[in-house]
Amino acid sequence: MKLLTQGEMRVFDQFDSDVRFFSRNYNKLKKKYRDMFIAIKNKRVVASAKTEKELLKEMKEKGLDPAVTVVEFVPSKEELILF
């Protein structure tokens, strides 16, 4: 099995730390980006929009690759969904 390249490792590490950033800062982000989709890169919110489609458009304009960028929805009200 071919090992991960340095670039692939960087992508993974970046993504993982951005997911952790979202988790740690959830309450702060919830105040600022309620009911919005946000993109996080390098522990910063780099794009935000009301719909995912608009967010993807903004990401494209900013040259952000959605395949390796954290995209999350920040709900204003939390509805528990069980599955």
Question: Which one of 32, 51, 52, 62 is in contact with other proteins (CB under 8 A)?
Answer: 52
The residues in 24-43 that bind other proteins, with binding defined as CB under 8 A, are 26, 35, 37
Nearest to 22 by CA among 78, 75, 70: 70
Residue type, 23: S
* Cα–Cα distance for residue pair 16/60, rounded to 1 Å: 21
**DSSP-derived secondary structure letter, 82:** -
Applying CB under 8 A, the residues found at the interface with other proteins are 1, 3-4, 8-9, 11-13, 15-16, 19-20, 22-23, 26, 35, 37, 52, 56, 66-68, 70-73, 75, 78-81, 83
